[in-house]
Amino acid sequence: MILKMNRAGILMWLLCVPFTLHAQPPVADMHLHYKWTQQDVTSPADAIALLEQQNIVMGVVIGTPAELALELQSLAPDRIVSIFSPYREGGDWHRWAYDGSTVTRARAALASGRYQGIGELHVIGGFAPTLEKAVVLKKLLALGAEFEVPVMIHTEFSRPDFMLNVCGQFPDTHILWAHSGALLEPGAVERVLAHCDNVRGGLGARDPWRFVNNPLTSEAGTLLPEWKALFLKYPERFMVGSDPVWPVDQLDRWDEADSGWQELGRFWTFHRSWLAQLPADVARQIGCENAVALFGRSEQLKCN
């Protein structure tokens, strides 16, 4: 369609273009997966374009296998942070914790300088070793401190005890707590934050479609008061991620294409809706600044 515009119309159109492209405030996504089951649906170039569309100025990418994150990083080095995932094939989400080669591979990955973190490491009740026997996890946490990079851990238990113990034992490691414990209510999340300064809570997949048992908002979309109070008490300790995995009826599907990146708008529309209910400075910290600062990109990337 060709629109006929006079000069004033063209000027207005030109003035409006930058605002319509980036009408939404900039955000940082601390939880992106790029898996081999996602490549056919969303190419690396498509993924970068989707981040641009959503005004996601920084994205932390977990590749499965790890090298896939580097494909995104090579296309947009300022925008993408790659963290090292030890998962190479289906089932590694529970095997990694018993496999000593995980530590060797993680050390080599960090030493290469191509990865700025480790994760996501799943520690799920019924599959994970007890903390006393979690030798691989402990060595990875020590590596995080040695290389001064964060370690992203996904815990899934009905109580916060595992994280309370882990974070206390590794005070020099920055722990990114994926989904802030996934199942836990805000009071349990607060116990961990109060106990350990080194933990930052992620809010990826705490949306109406995934971890629904302790939702952030009412069905009408209002941020629940317990969560709001927690965000206001610890504005420097939370971050948002989309966790673009879809469909979500089974953990770590390998037999079906994953269209999660095509749902990026859905996930971020939800997160932006509750962020907008916080004071602007807190929303900017949680939505963008905390993640950008943790990965040392505050100089290059602007959150306003």
Shortest reach from residue 120's CB to Zn ion, in Å: 5
Which residue spans within 146-269 are E strands per DSSP?
Answer: 151-156, 175-177, 199-202, 238-239
Question: 36 vs 76, which CB is nearer to Zn ion?
Answer: 36
CA torsion through residues 210, 212, 214, 218, sign: positive
Q: How far apart are CA 21 and CA 43, in angstroms?
A: 22
Question: 154 vs 271, which CB is nearer to Zn ion?
Answer: 154
Rule CB under 5 A: which residues touch Zn ion? 154, 178
Length of the chain: 304
Question: 143 vs 178, which CB is nearer to Zn ion?
Answer: 178
Shortest reach from residue 205's CB to Zn ion, in Å: 6
Query: Which of the 8 DSSP states describes residue 286?
Result: I
Specify whether the CB–CB gap between 58 and 79 falls below 8 A.
yes
Q: How far apart are CA 107 and CA 152, in angstroms?
A: 15
| Amino acid at residue number 3 | L
**Cα of 7 vs its chain's centroid, Å:** 45
Q: Which residue is nearest to Zn ion (CB)?
A: 154
Q: How big is the chain by its Cα radius of gyration, in Å?
A: 19
3-state SS, residue 95:
helix
Which residue spans within 71-198 are E strands per DSSP?
Answer: 80-83, 118-124, 151-156, 175-177
Shortest reach from residue 29's CB to Zn ion, in Å: 14
Cis peptide before 247 (omega within 30 of 0): yes
Q: How far apart are CA 33 and CA 63, in angstroms?
A: 6
Shortest reach from residue 158's CB to Zn ion, in Å: 17
Question: 140 vs 278, which CB is nearer to Zn ion?
Answer: 140
Shortest reach from residue 178's CB to Zn ion, in Å: 4
Question: 124 vs 257, which CB is nearer to Zn ion?
Answer: 124
Place of tokens 């989904």: 179
Question: 283 vs 294, which CB is nearer to Zn ion?
Answer: 294
Shortest reach from residue 241's CB to Zn ion, in Å: 9
Shortest reach from residue 153's CB to Zn ion, in Å: 9
Question: 146 vs 185, which CB is nearer to Zn ion?
Answer: 185
